[in-house]
Structure 1
Amino acid sequence: MEIMRKLNQDLFGNLRIFCTRVVSLGNGIVRRYCKLWDFQSLNVAVGIGSLLFCLFALVCVYFYLFPSLSPVRHSYEIVSTPRNGSISAEKCNVFEGKWIQDESYPLYNASQCPFAERGFSCLANGRRDRGYTKWRWKPKKCDIPRLDVQKILGKLYGKRVVFVGDSLSRTQWESLICMLMTGVDDKRSVYEVNGNKITKQIRFLGVRFSTYNLRIDFYRSVFLVRPSSVPRRAPKRVKSTLRLDLMDDISKEWIDSDVLVFNSGHWWTPTKLFEMGCYFQVGKSLKLGMPINTAFRKALDTWAYWVENMVNTNRTSVFFRTFESSHWGGKNRNTCKVNRRPWSRTNGRDRSKISDNIVKVVKQMKVPVNLLHVTRMGAFRSDGHVGTWGDNPSVPDCSHWCLPGVPDVWNEILLSSLLNG
């Protein structure tokens, strides 16, 4: 402390001498070249300019010596930790990296997890190759820490974790439950609160870990904003609307949570909207010509306003997962070929307008929201989809993921962020 005090005195002392010399020099120059004219105003201007320069220099030195008082800037990179469990000294973008084979995976056996939906349990549905379960995501400058289930269960004791979104959100929800169940001795102590079977028909599912007083809930809200009935005098083709300016009517159920994870995107398509007679509405105004991308951005703005005004982000950690790459092929994107290994390149699937909109909105928010930017990492995983190993083999699926598989990595990143938070 004495050294820092002495250093501060020296710096400010030298800077004071420097400023004095600058002011004197400015005055001398003016007097030398302006003897024949009355340039008193110029002399004053130079003096004031020199003084302002010195003040600016003082401010720069001040913030150099006391950086903790500098303006806070939001960071949307999740801090990761090395695999030895120690905290990394520098921030790392965990979403930039590659997939590497790891024989210690998978993290659980889906056939032993009653909350892994049959439609996502590819091995149970006849898939013979297990290679897709043996891949670990390796960020460029760090590692995602090994899953320590007991440590995580301790961290989540007495908490409520809520997932909100479409069926891809339900997949992540199921994955997290199966991961955490590996650390529970009495499997009967983990149960669905209403005794429901895990299925896509139910809008709410909640699993309780009674030993840890932990709830992990899922709410099906594919658009996040509110579906509504047909307004008066609407054209016959309008069967329903999406109120882009109003949150889903079940959003009040999400507020009382400790961790809140959102996703949306797969239903924002012409086939899910216009071909089903669903159009956009803002207030009483029907927006028949509004493009889907514009409507999605408007819905995200409504979501952001809701988070900023309704969620206590001092208590609740909010996450938004970006669009998950699908791997449909063919001219009409209706063929599904599931590879044995990940692609070596992203083949253009590492970017998405949906993800771009999510990133832009989150970065403009007034409260901290964590981005789970999984678009690029999923782009490589053409091998990880359900394909013909779902609950209906006659309908191939290159959108959803097998469990165990890719969604487990989303949860590894989510949990490492919570542990470091």
Structure 2
Amino acid sequence: MGRGQQMSIWDIERTVVSTPGTETRNIYSHRRLVVVAILTTFVPFVIASSYLYYTTPDASTEAMLFFQRLKEGKTTSSFVNATSQSNPQVEPKNGDSEISKDTNQAEVDRDSAEDVIVEDVDPKDVATLESKNPTFPGVNVSEPHLEGPEENITSILMEGHGLTNTTNSNNRVGCDLIKGSWVPDPRPPQYTNSSCRYIQGHQNCMKNGRPDTGFLHWKWQPEKCDLPRIDAQAFLNAMRNKSMTFAGDSIARNQFQSLLCLLSQVEVPDHTYNAPDDRDNVHVFRTYNFTIAIYWSPYLVHVEDKDITWPDNKTQSVAHIHVDKLDRAWTDRISGVDILQVSTGQWWFKRGLFLQGGQVLGGHICDGWKECEKEIGFADPYRTAIHHLLKDSLSIPGYTGTTILRTFAPDHFEGGAWDSGGRCKRTTPGGVPIGPLTNWMYEIQQEEFKNITGEASESEKQRIRLLDITNLAQIRADGHPDVYMKFQPFANEKKQLPQKDCLHWCLPGPIDTWNDLLVESLRDAVFGS
């Protein structure tokens, strides 16, 4: 209630009191009724508004419109796509960012020192691929990627339209978890950078000073059903005396840490193993005897890094990739594991030599490399690797669990690559069309999954699943760290431009939804229903 409203009410009451012939009892009874009516009407709204102000001070315009419709009782289950517009990133001013007071600068600097973009793919390799690769099918590589405001493509990009869904969707009639839309969600995230200790420095966007928080207030809404958030307590109970393993690259680690954050709100697990390079980790939730692990294997097949010598006598370490031989870095560790999620993607864009049956097939980005006599690109080797990954995982000694292949995770660099001015400045979903490389990788995964399941027995089909996140993740160009992969990135802007990350995901953020999908699509395997 505003000050002006208070003065008006009391002025009216004084006028009533001074009127001859009016009974005092009726006056005060009337006043009480007026006060009660006003409090009943406005107090809940004031409380809700205060909560939203302090938890989402920079929420997107679309989300605030949703909150307004909620107050007026006019909400609908879908979002009006045409209202979404591109919002330029607002550079933080002194005192604008809400950063945790317990920031450990040494920890942030150490975590952020890792070159997380180069770790996954060198943009120069991608540029070479698009300009030279003769096996790039169905793509006009000379056509530039669409960039800039959404305009007429918004209504398409706000919704996920993938290929035929192969994700187990909990046997609910008509429920397809990957066909839907991102809609505003007033709920706060299930964890924060203060309540989760497992967020790496370069994904801790809030701690690093990201000024907007609207990206935290969207949920994935399937067309004909709901996608519930993970019930961490129920999941841990269901996984009692069981184990779960992730294998893949830094995006797999990103998702693993998201799940760890969600589950740790119930119980803090024991960190039972940590590799010296921090790439392999094992945690145990003691109360439930539930083990969850992550193993570094960016190709998922066996790789030997060998030095090669160029004509100018410079040496370089290049991956020699055995496409038909699974990587023992994870296969030797999954005996008895109940759920295995595997994923591989951007590393295949790098220069490499491919082998099958121990014999050289050819290479990718040979450029005068004498051992790489035949340029074959990476598409066929990648397809072969996915085929063996799905088929051969069923016969790993001691492993009788369920294998989930997580589909390709898109990046959202606009205006250049990470080292040439590319940024991901959007603060609302949509606006960035799917790129040809992303679409290509996605199609290969879909096709090989269908090929393998088409040949498999009924019992084998139940052990192979596809976690299809590509299209719904493509819409969330607002969910990356961008420059906030480092603490207060603009503090030294005059000395050095901050590095950008439009590949990995902020925690908390849209990647949490991948785990909601994971658990829901495994409902029969986890909960028995």
TM-score by length of 2: 0.57
Go from structure 1 to structure 2 and tell me whether the alpha carbon gap of 1:354 and 1:78 turns closer, same or farther (over 3 Å shift): same
Which residue in the other structure is 1:159 paired with?
242
Go from structure 1 to structure 2 and tell me whether the alpha carbon gap of 1:119 and 1:238 turns closer, same or farther (over 3 Å shift): closer
Count of matched residue pairs = 326
* 3-state DSSP of counterpart to 2:502: strand
- Which residue identity lines up with residue 204 of structure 1 in the other structure? D
**CA–CA separation in structure 2 for the residues paired with 1:311 and 1:413:** 28
Which of 472, 483, 499 is 1:388 aligned to? 483
Matched, 1:400 2:504: yes
**CA–CA separation in structure 2 for the residues paired with 1:128 and 1:329:** 20
Is this contact kept in 2: 1:223–1:264, CA < 8 A?
Answer: yes
Matched, 1:370 2:497: no
**CA–CA separation in structure 2 for the residues paired with 1:305 and 1:318:** 10
Which of 95, 102, 125 is 2:178 aligned to? 95
**CA–CA separation in structure 1 for the residues paired with 2:280 and 2:296:** 6
Is this contact kept in 2: 1:349–1:376, CA < 8 A?
Answer: no
Give the C-alpha shift of residue 375 in structure 1. Answer: 0.7
The 5 A counterparts of 1:322-341 are 322-330=407-415, 334=420, 335-341=422-428
Is this contact kept in 2: 1:206–1:218, CA < 8 A?
Answer: yes
- Which residue identity lines up with residue 158 of structure 1 in the other structure? N
- Which residue identity lines up with residue 299 of structure 1 in the other structure? A
Is this contact kept in 2: 1:346–1:379, CA < 8 A?
Answer: yes
Which residue in the other structure is 2:324 paired with?
245
Give the C-alpha shift of residue 103 in structure 1. Answer: 1.4
**CA–CA separation in structure 1 for the residues paired with 2:417 and 2:427:** 23
The 5 A counterparts of 1:271-350 are 273-274=350-351, 278-286=352-360, 287=362, 288=372, 289-310=375-396, 315-330=400-415, 334=420, 335-343=422-430, 347-349=433-435
Is this contact kept in 1: 2:232–2:266, CA < 8 A?
Answer: yes
Matched, 1:356 2:443: yes
* Alpha-carbon displacement from aligned partner over 1:381-418 (angstroms, at most 9, x marks no partner): 11101101113742100100000111110101111223
**CA–CA separation in structure 2 for the residues paired with 1:147 and 1:228:** 39
Give the C-alpha shift of residue 240 in structure 1. Answer: 4.1
* 3-state DSSP of counterpart to 2:260: helix
Is this contact kept in 2: 1:263–1:322, CA < 8 A?
Answer: yes
The percentage of aligned residue pairs carrying the same residue is 27
Give the C-alpha shift of residue 166 in structure 1. Answer: 0.5
* Alpha-carbon displacement from aligned partner over 1:191-234 (angstroms, at most 9, x marks no partner): 2113x49x9x3331111111110111000100001112559999
Give the C-alpha shift of residue 284 in structure 1. Answer: 3.4
Is this contact kept in 1: 2:424–2:480, CA < 8 A?
Answer: no
Which residue in the other structure is 1:217 paired with?
293
Which residue in the other structure is 2:347 paired with?
267
**CA–CA separation in structure 2 for the residues paired with 1:255 and 1:390:** 36
Is this contact kept in 1: 2:308–2:317, CA < 8 A?
Answer: no
* 3-state DSSP of counterpart to 1:378: helix
Go from structure 1 to structure 2 and tell me whether the alpha carbon gap of 1:374 and 1:89 turns closer, same or farther (over 3 Å shift): closer
**CA–CA separation in structure 2 for the residues paired with 1:89 and 1:222:** 34
Which residue in the other structure is 2:201 paired with?
118
Which residue in the other structure is 2:6 paired with?
none
Go from structure 1 to structure 2 and tell me whether the alpha carbon gap of 1:384 and 1:242 turns closer, same or farther (over 3 Å shift): same
* Alpha-carbon displacement from aligned partner over 1:122-153 (angstroms, at most 9, x marks no partner): 00111121111111100111111243221111
**CA–CA separation in structure 1 for the residues paired with 2:480 and 2:309:** 44
* 3-state DSSP of counterpart to 1:302: helix
**CA–CA separation in structure 1 for the residues paired with 2:248 and 2:466:** 15
RMSD: 2.7
**CA–CA separation in structure 2 for the residues paired with 1:161 and 1:262:** 11
Is this contact kept in 2: 1:98–1:140, CA < 8 A?
Answer: yes
* Alpha-carbon displacement from aligned partner over 1:10-43 (angstroms, at most 9, x marks no partner): xxxxxxxxxxxxxxxxxxxxxxxxxxxxxxxxxx
**CA–CA separation in structure 2 for the residues paired with 1:231 and 1:327:** 32
Is this contact kept in 2: 1:78–1:92, CA < 8 A?
Answer: no
**CA–CA separation in structure 1 for the residues paired with 2:308 and 2:426:** 50
- Which residue identity lines up with residue 78 of structure 1 in the other structure? N
Is this contact kept in 2: 1:152–1:419, CA < 8 A?
Answer: no
Is this contact kept in 1: 2:405–2:466, CA < 8 A?
Answer: yes
Which residue in the other structure is 2:169 paired with?
79
Which residue in the other structure is 1:192 paired with?
271
Give the C-alpha shift of residue 338 in structure 1. Answer: 2.1
Is this contact kept in 1: 2:308–2:318, CA < 8 A?
Answer: no
Go from structure 1 to structure 2 and tell me whether the alpha carbon gap of 1:237 and 1:284 turns closer, same or farther (over 3 Å shift): farther
**CA–CA separation in structure 2 for the residues paired with 1:354 and 1:232:** 28
Is this contact kept in 2: 1:193–1:206, CA < 8 A?
Answer: yes
**CA–CA separation in structure 2 for the residues paired with 1:262 and 1:159:** 18
Which residue in the other structure is 2:263 paired with?
180
Give the C-alpha shift of residue 311 in structure 1. Answer: 6.6
**CA–CA separation in structure 2 for the residues paired with 1:395 and 1:234:** 30
* Alpha-carbon displacement from aligned partner over 1:345-383 (angstroms, at most 9, x marks no partner): 552349621111111111122222111111100111111
- Which residue identity lines up with residue 512 of structure 2 in the other structure? D
* 3-state DSSP of counterpart to 1:163: strand
**CA–CA separation in structure 2 for the residues paired with 1:411 and 1:303:** 21
Higher Rg: 1
**CA–CA separation in structure 2 for the residues paired with 1:134 and 1:144:** 15
**CA–CA separation in structure 1 for the residues paired with 2:424 and 2:376:** 34
Go from structure 1 to structure 2 and tell me whether the alpha carbon gap of 1:292 and 1:98 turns closer, same or farther (over 3 Å shift): same
Give the C-alpha shift of residue 330 in structure 1. Answer: 2.4
Go from structure 1 to structure 2 and tell me whether the alpha carbon gap of 1:255 and 1:266 turns closer, same or farther (over 3 Å shift): farther
Go from structure 1 to structure 2 and tell me whether the alpha carbon gap of 1:268 and 1:157 turns closer, same or farther (over 3 Å shift): same
Which residue in the other structure is 2:254 paired with?
171
